[in-house]
Chain A
Amino acid sequence: MNGREHSDAELLKRIDLKAVERRDRRRQGRNFLVALAFMSPALLLVGVLLLVPVVYNIYLGFTRWRKFSGIDEFAGVENYARMLSNPFFGEALFNTAIWVVASIVFPILIGLAMALLFRGVRFENTFKNIIFIPRILAPTAVGVIWYYVYAPDGLLNRGLSVFSGDPVDIGWLYDSATVTPAIIATFVWQTVGLVMVLVLLGLSAIPKDPLEAAKIDGASKVQVFQHIVLPLLLPTLVMVTILSVLAGFTVFDLLWVMGISYPGQRSLSLTVYMYFEAFQKGAWAYGSAVAVVIGLVVLCVTWIQAVLQQRVDKMTR
């Protein structure tokens, strides 16, 4: 050991590393308690208002609770087995799948197209505000407005009559072939404004250098969009897709208001089906089981999208 090493060892001995570590641990512990104290209101709210009801709902799905009794009777997987044999559940699941696909495709395509169309044009902000207005309306109010637009003597049929020259009398919200597309159109009308604004934000975050370089290299507008804009916009599009799918999957207000007179209303989506079973029939345990299935499917979809998001993030880094 040379003189310098000897003096370092002496110094470390005098500092007492273990005591420093103990002090650090104590400080970290204090910091954690302070952080916990600051977080406790939020943790308490999330725990009491979100986690406890979710866990309780999962428990209820395994009971025989119907109307006034059965809340403490264990039923095993009885409710889940019943779901598989119920034709209305199958119809609701199918319609929900349509909603998921539609809520991915239409808001994204239309929102993206509108963002590209209005970006940089004169009165851009005015157009953006007008298209965003439906998003700030309550879905129930939107449902009531469109309920009357789609009425047999409503605005849509009258407009079509003027265009076609013949009286048009389509029962948009009464026919199984038109009711889901009609309500999806309303959903798209309401959500497309938000998608457009988010895409515009994504577009404005794209660096100008690669765009200018591509132009100098003689790339066409389509090539610039396909090879530069779209890849750089992917993180925004994935995030918008997640928001859109969750909104489409859990939509209830529009279906409830606009489908009120449609004979097959209970099968319009899993959320409506769950409401009918639980609240109309008092089949609380069965309704809870349906809610668990809805939650699981949403979790799966969200997980797939989170994985996609990570991959896209890696690609664009």
Chain B
Amino acid sequence: MNKYVRSVIAGVLGATMIAGVATADDVQLYHDKGFWSEQLQAVGDASAEATGVRIVENPYATAEQYKAFIQASIASGDAPQMFTWWTGQTFTELTQTGKIAKLNDVWADMVASGEYAESAADLFTVDGDIYAVPLLLARWVMLYNKPLFAELGIEEPTTWDELMAAAETVKAAGHTPFNATVHEGWRGFIWFQELMLRTDPEAYLGLHNGTVAYDSEPVRRAFEMWVDMYDKGYFTDPRSNEEIEDFAGGSAAMYLMGEWVVGSLAASGLETSDLGAFIVPNVDPDAPSAVIVEGGPVVISAAAKDNPDVMAALKFFSSVDGANAWAEASGNYMGNLKADAPNPIIAKINSDMTEAGTATYNRWWEATPPDLQGEFVAELNRFMLDPTMDTAEDVMARMQALNAEYWADQ
């Protein structure tokens, strides 16, 4: 009996040592996307098979807790090996710590292989240097209910007037054209950014560097259009607690959202085959095609650049195999041109963008200074709950007061 016990103990110790050897090659990936934990681990497991280096995902429950962890880690000089972040000003701030590795050489290979367009690095470039590979490249497009469009005889709109005509047809048939709520407090910017981009892309960019005021004429024009659309009854009740489920259940004909929502809609019962998508046309039909893009970066610490395991994991992540593993697991697209499109919606938008030579604009949330994001989106939500020009004027005034104060200190 003792012999058996000794054998078991020896076996356990042996297995522990083997496991210890195996974990020596693990690369830790920290992130705040707990809803994609399994999916990220699937990529990590694929990496282990392809390169011998396993990526182990470490999720944080909320973005706030995650930011606190990363900021404290970097402040104490111990940045994690590999972690996700956000684009825009918060990305610039991260790179300015000097603790993040430059990945110009990695990108040179990624572009030379024909897997990525050179412009795909724009979201991750600060002062001429590239600091991240993509986790996500989601275009914000208009999704629509195909059976309802077919029933009402509506074609995909190619101009703003056609889009408004489609909305009018939907409304006349007793349906609501657009699904839009303030659910969870962050959605207020979606239609604001779209209307700004469609009416004045230069002003949209100017909002983010302080050169255009939030109470200027381009902003007022966007609000006037927004109020007009609300007056016509084009939007769903902004107070709904279940925006995605609402659209999947047929609350509206169209839904302006990032491509990543396709998977959630399918999970809520709306088959991808019943879903269409198009890039929202500009108000000025002669203006060049443009689309809002949300980029999710993966960075590595400057210290990890010398670690061959981390570099192998990073290169696998952005490779065709990595992109396919990620697409298969999560339905997300990371911009790899040689990888399979995760779903027909993304394939269609890829094709439309190539055909129209569509320019990309960073999403409002990432492009806006982090110090202003929260207050501004709260103001935009306030407008959606009371969509009148009086509220719009008040919202614009309050946003501009904060905006002016912020930029005066820069």
Chain A residues proximal to chain B, CB less than 8 Å? 65, 67-69, 71, 88, 147-148, 151-152, 171, 174, 260-266, 275-276, 278-282, 284
Are A276 and B74 within 8 A (Cβ)? no
| With contact pairs A261-B184, A266-B374 given, residues A279 and B239 touching in the complex (Cβ less than 8 Å) | no
Are B382 and A282 within 8 A (Cβ)? no
A174 CB contacts on chain B under 8 angstroms: 182, 239, 385
Chain B residues proximal to chain A, CB less than 8 Å? 64-65, 67-68, 71, 74-75, 93-94, 97, 99, 181-185, 188, 237, 239-241, 370-371, 373-375, 378-379, 381-382, 385
B97 CB contacts on chain A under 8 angstroms: 68-69
Are B65 and A279 within 8 A (Cβ)? yes
Main secondary structure of the interface of A (DSSP, over half): loop
| With contact pairs A68-B71, A71-B75, A171-B385 given, residues A264 and B239 touching in the complex (Cβ less than 8 Å) | no
Are A68 and B239 within 8 A (Cβ)? no
| With contact pairs A148-B241, A151-B241, A282-B370 given, residues A261 and B185 touching in the complex (Cβ less than 8 Å) | yes
B237 CB contacts on chain A under 8 angstroms: 152
Are B374 and A263 within 8 A (Cβ)? no
A147 CA to B378 CA in the complex, in Å?
19
- List 9 A-B pairs, Cβ < 8 Å: A68-B97, A68-B99, A261-B185, A261-B381, A263-B381, A266-B375, A276-B374, A279-B64, A279-B65
In this complex, what residue of A is CB-closest to B237?
A152
| With contact pairs A174-B239, A282-B370 given, residues A260 and B184 touching in the complex (Cβ less than 8 Å) | yes
Counting chain B CB atoms within 10 Å of each CB, which of A152, A174, A276 scores highest?
A174
Are B93 and A68 within 8 A (Cβ)? yes
A45 CA to B181 CA in the complex, in Å?
46
In this complex, what residue of A is CB-closest to B79?
A68
A256 to chain B, nearest CB (A): 10
Are B239 and A151 within 8 A (Cβ)? yes
Are A281 and B382 within 8 A (Cβ)? no
| With contact pairs A174-B385, A263-B379, A276-B374 given, residues A69 and B239 touching in the complex (Cβ less than 8 Å) | no
| With contact pairs A279-B64, A282-B67, A282-B71 given, residues A261 and B374 touching in the complex (Cβ less than 8 Å) | no
| With contact pairs A68-B75, A69-B75, A151-B241 given, residues A265 and B68 touching in the complex (Cβ less than 8 Å) | no
Are A265 and B378 within 8 A (Cβ)? yes
A279 CB contacts on chain B under 8 angstroms: 64-65, 67-68
A68 CA to B100 CA in the complex, in Å?
12
In this complex, what residue of B is CB-closest to A176?
B382
A275 CA to B374 CA in the complex, in Å?
12
Are A281 and B75 within 8 A (Cβ)? no
Are A171 and B239 within 8 A (Cβ)? yes
In this complex, what residue of A is CB-closest to B382?
A263
A278 CB contacts on chain B under 8 angstroms: 68
B330 to chain A, nearest CB (A): 25
A238 to chain B, nearest CB (A): 37
In this complex, what residue of A is CB-closest to B377?
A263
B65 to chain A, nearest CB (A): 7
A266 CB contacts on chain B under 8 angstroms: 374-375, 378
Are B67 and A260 within 8 A (Cβ)? no
A65 CA to B68 CA in the complex, in Å?
12
Are A263 and B385 within 8 A (Cβ)? yes
Closest 7 CB pairs of A and B: A279-B64, A263-B382, A263-B378, A263-B381, A68-B97, A152-B239, A68-B74
Beyond A261-B184, A263-B379, A284-B71, 5 extra complex contacts between A and B, CB < 8 Å: A65-B75, A68-B99, A174-B182, A263-B382, A281-B371
| With contact pairs A68-B75, A279-B67 given, residues A264 and B378 touching in the complex (Cβ less than 8 Å) | yes
B72 to chain A, nearest CB (A): 8
A261 CB contacts on chain B under 8 angstroms: 181-185, 239, 241, 381
A148 CA to B240 CA in the complex, in Å?
10
A147 CB contacts on chain B under 8 angstroms: 241
In this complex, what residue of A is CB-closest to B181?
A261
B405 to chain A, nearest CB (A): 10
B89 to chain A, nearest CB (A): 11
A88 CB contacts on chain B under 8 angstroms: 375
In this complex, what residue of A is CB-closest to B93?
A67
